Amino acid sequence: MDLDYNQIMSIGVYGSAIGLILIGLYAVLIKKHLTKIVIGLSIIDAGIHLLFIAIGYIKGGTAPIFSPAGEKIVANGGVMVDPVPQALVLTAIVIGFAVTAVALSLVIRLYRHHQTARIDQIKSLKW
């Protein structure tokens, strides 16, 4: 099978996006340490962000900026990549950051309350 550079790249990018999501899922579902679960959630987010960026990419596209240089490229038959996924991923990264911060502060609170950060040893409420 003959693959050119672009095909290898796209398989690599999509593959690593799905790989990241699966690694994150593994961490969330299997790991018992609260911090590792939070890390797993961040990895899932990173995978989805990568997938989103990959979907918005157009082969050979340039940065989507309205500037004299950008207009010249488009006038000469060039293309720009889709700017919407990039804007959305930027927003999603900020949201992910906020959720991670809240999650870690809860982990600290749980650790102080129970003197442990292992999820199988914290069971005042029914899990």
Residues at the site binding another protein, with contacts judged by CB under 8 A: 21, 28, 34, 37, 41, 44-45, 48, 51-52, 55, 84-85, 88, 91-92, 95, 98-99, 102-103, 106-107, 109-110, 113, 122, 124-125, 127
Query: Of 30 and 72, which CB lies nearer to another protein in the complex structure?
Result: 30
Least CB distance to another protein at residue 53 (A): 10
How far apart are alpha carbons 64 and 83 in whole angstroms?
Answer: 6
Query: Of 70 and 82, which CB lies nearer to another protein in the complex structure?
Result: 82
94: left (phi over 0), alpha (psi -120 to 50) or beta: alpha
- What does the block give as tokens for 29? 């579902």
Please, are residues 18 and 38 in contact by the beta-carbon 8 Å criterion?
no
Least CB distance to another protein at residue 103 (A): 5
Least CB distance to another protein at residue 75 (A): 21
Query: Of 9 and 82, which CB lies nearer to another protein in the complex structure?
Result: 82
How far apart are alpha carbons 11 and 41 in whole angstroms?
Answer: 24
Please, are residues 40 and 28 in contact by the beta-carbon 8 Å criterion?
yes
